[in-house]
Every structure is written in structure tokens, then in C-alpha cells.
Chain A
């Protein structure tokens, strides 16, 4: 299928105990991400050892509001929202920032990382008729790399063994296709315009015993755009 894809957003995730907001963490992350603004979503406060800290999630937001690092109780998300035409270089650029954030965090906290994920979202610029034909064609594909299709609540899921560093890790390749409909004024007439999206979630499976070291996270972040591209090619091939 010859079509243009727009990147809607990219999420990189590592699972680790929550990093509490404190001056040291913000200052050290500030070296790599200058002028980022800390923001607290939940106004509930905890008091421990005479220090008041917010409970729940908090985040660091880029001055242009296009990037965020979100610290939730279980995981840290790096989010990049800026829209751009899809290219491997563009994905590499974003995951490079993500890698920078994660490595910095691991160096500061020394926490164990038990799961890593790469989740890009794209908009498919395609006509409705072509989209319907394409949808019909992808459901006939039941094998990605050497993995068979697994029945889940997502559009498609495959368990694929990938090499991260010296280890072979089973990863979830999950895709979710959705259609969003908006009312838009097209040539003076209000019309319902569909927007076709495809979201991936390529992640290592839940296993608290599995701990990823710094090098493996570095490798995953560098390889993630390629994992994404191979999955995208699976959908876009004729």
C-alpha cells in the first residue's frame, strides 16, 4: 500500500518504582532537559520525614509542550506529541531523546527496570474505500516474523522473540486500528471526516524477575524504531 503516514505521537516506557519529585531529580534531569517545567496532577500531599510530597503522578513538561516525562507509580513514560511525516530518522530522533531521559533517570535512582516499551501512534492518510480494502487484507495475515497471530482484545497481537544485548526476550507486538470521526467544514459544508489511526505497543512481557540493565535499555531504545518499522511494513506490504 502506497500511503503517507503521519506520526501522531511516540511513547517510550520503563517500569520502575515511582521516582518522587524532589529538587535533586529535577535539577539532574534539567541538565539534559533544560527549562522543563515540573507539574503535579494530584493535589493530595504526603508528609514523610517532615517533607511534603505529592502523591500520584507528576511530570516534567517541555517548554513547547510537545514532550513530557510522566512519573506514575509504576512506570515512567517519555511522550513526544509533535506531528511529522513518518520516517525512520524521525523515530530515531525521538527515541534518542527518550533514551537520554531513561539513562539519566536510571543513573539518578539506581532503580531496577522490569519492563520496557515503545508505543508509536500514526495517522494513515488514506481514502475510505482504500482503507476498507486494506483492512480486509491485513486480517488475512496471521504471521509476523516467525510468530503466529494470538487472539486478544487488540486488533492483532504477536509474541516475537527478539535479541536485546545477549538475551533473547519474548516481546508483545500489539497493534490497534481505530477510526475517529470529526465534524469538519469541507468546502463550506459540515461533513463527518474519518481519521484512521494505527497504534503499536511493542513491549517486553510482565515479569518482575526480569531486570533490564543500562546497556539493554540503551539497545532497546536504539532498536525500537526498527521494531516499529518492521511491524509497520507488515501492515503496509501488498
Chain B
């Protein structure tokens, strides 16, 4: 397993990085309102993956802005009107896109283990809690922009498996379908895991008709098919 933290730590000077992280957080919280509104923006930085001190800095900054005010320049966050919701989504999506490069680098280096959270899952979780729809829309976009990179696709499928429910099937079904068609066994395994989580009839049909390249993954697929047939058919 690749240890992301130690790998990055060994390649960077931590003191310089921490200083710049502090400056960044101070500037962002003082000068820009939207940084306050979207804690994920200031939470997600490379320093998060480095050491606990970064988390302390974050906590200190957050405590100054404990009241999650609804005001955002030009955007009406508290309103449930479609216009406000769309504007809010647009801003949120832009903020996620700004972090996409760092996210993809981290995703490539992260190993997912069953039942364990990691910084990538925490990051996605945090954004889902703020804006589920837009976070999913962005994840879909990340997928389409990196569809040739098996590690990214596998990572994204693991996120989908871990953070979505069958209610999100309409959004992510094409991704699972493509994951199963991908010749990489890792991608196929992640897609099957998602199907196992969703437990849906359409997914069962899809899995039954899929060609799995690895015998080991095929065995796993057979177990899932049997289980779902018992439950759904």
C-alpha cells in the first residue's frame, strides 16, 4: 500500500508548506466571503494530507466563523427558489473545480480499504453534506475528464460505492456500466462492489450480461449475482 502522507512528506519541506497553508487560510478567511461559506474550500488543501497541525490551523480558523451565515455576495443561500439553488450550485461547482487537480492527484495515490475512511472519502463526504447534487455532478465530470485513467476510474467507483445509495442510480448507472466494460479487473471489482451496495434489478441484469476478464473477479461477480437473485427475483 502506498503511504500517501509519508511519500508527500518526504518530498516537501513541511515548515515551508505549513507557513504557506497558514497564510493561505488567513488570507482566504479575511478577504473572501465565499471561503467562509464553503468550509470545504479551506479544509481541502495539500496540508490536510500532511499532518495534524494542518487540522489545528483549520479548527482555529473555523472557530472564528462558527456562524454559518447565509449571506454570500450575490447569492441567496438560504432561499429554496430554483434561481437561488442554481446560482448556489454554480458557485459550489466552481469551487470544486478549483480543487479538482489536487483531488485527482490524491485520488491516484490513495488505496481504498473496505470499511475504512480515508482523506478522499472524508473530503467527498464533507462536500456531500453541503451540496449533494453538485458534488455528484462534479464527480461525474471528473470521471468524464479522466476516463482513460484506470486508477482514477477505480477510485471514483470506490467513492460511488461508499457514498451513494440506490436513489442515486440514475446519476451513476452509466459510470458503473462503463466500469464493468473496462478491461481492468480493479475497475470491474469496484463496479461490482457498487452494484452490491445498490442491490437493484437493473444492475443485476447488467452484471449477468457482463464479461469479466479475471477469474477471481468473475467468482466475486457470481456470488453477488446469486445473492441479488435470491433477494430481488
Given contacts A75-B85, A151-B71, A209-B129, contact A157 B78 (CB under 8 A): yes
> B78 to A174, Cβ gap below 8 A?
yes
Could you say which of A13, A73, A109, A154 contacts B78, with CB atoms under 8 Å apart?
Answer: A154
Could you say which of B81, B128, B168, B174 contacts A208, with CB atoms under 8 Å apart?
Answer: B128
Q: Mark A72-85, 1 if CB is under 8 A from B, else 0.
A: 11110100000000
Could you say which of A72, A115, A151 contacts B82, with CB atoms under 8 Å apart?
Answer: A72
For residue A49, CB closer than 8 A to chain B, the reply is yes
Given contacts A119-B80, A154-B76, contact A48 B173 (CB under 8 A): yes
Given contacts A48-B174, A201-B78, A205-B78, contact A152 B128 (CB under 8 A): no
Chain B residue nearest in CB terms to A116: B80
Nearest Cβ on chain A to B122's Cβ, whole angstroms: 15
Could you say which of B74, B82, B202, B205 contacts A77, with CB atoms under 8 Å apart?
Answer: B82
Given contacts A73-B133, A208-B129, contact A111 B167 (CB under 8 A): yes
For residue A214, CB closer than 8 A to chain B, the reply is no
Within the assembled complex, what's the spacing in Å between the Cα atoms of A153 and B73? 8
Given contacts A112-B167, A209-B129, contact A49 B202 (CB under 8 A): yes
> B70 to A172, Cβ gap below 8 A?
yes
**A window 4-21: CB within 8 A of B:** 11, 13, 15-18, 20
For residue B61, CB closer than 8 A to chain A, the reply is no
Within the assembled complex, what's the spacing in Å between the Cα atoms of A20 and B170? 8
Chain B interface size, under 10 / 10 to 19 / 20 to 34 / 35 or more: 20 to 34
Interface residue total, chain A, C-beta cutoff 8 A: 36
Nearest Cβ on chain A to B92's Cβ, whole angstroms: 11
> A119 to B81, Cβ gap below 8 A?
yes
Chain A residue nearest in CB terms to B75: A153
Q: Mark A190-202, 1 if CB is under 8 A from B, else 0.
A: 0000000000010
Nearest Cβ on chain A to B178's Cβ, whole angstroms: 12
Most buried by A among B71, B75, B202: B71
Chain B residue nearest in CB terms to A17: B167
Chain A residues near B170: list those with CB within 8 A.
17-18, 20, 48
For residue A96, CB closer than 8 A to chain B, the reply is no
Chain A residues near B69: list those with CB within 8 A.
150-152
For residue B184, CB closer than 8 A to chain A, the reply is no
For residue A42, CB closer than 8 A to chain B, the reply is no
Given contacts A11-B81, A150-B70, A206-B77, 11 further A-B contacts (CB under 8 A): A13-B80, A18-B170, A20-B170, A48-B173, A49-B202, A73-B133, A75-B85, A152-B70, A152-B76, A174-B78, A201-B80
B contacts, CB < 8 Å to A: 69-72, 74-82, 85, 89, 128-133, 167-168, 170, 173-174, 202, 205-206
27 pairs, A vs B, C-beta closer than 8 Å: A16-B167, A17-B168, A18-B170, A48-B174, A75-B85, A77-B82, A114-B132, A115-B80, A119-B80, A151-B71, A152-B69, A152-B76, A153-B71, A153-B75, A157-B70, A157-B78, A172-B70, A174-B78, A201-B78, A201-B79, A201-B80, A203-B78, A203-B80, A205-B78, A206-B77, A206-B131, A208-B128
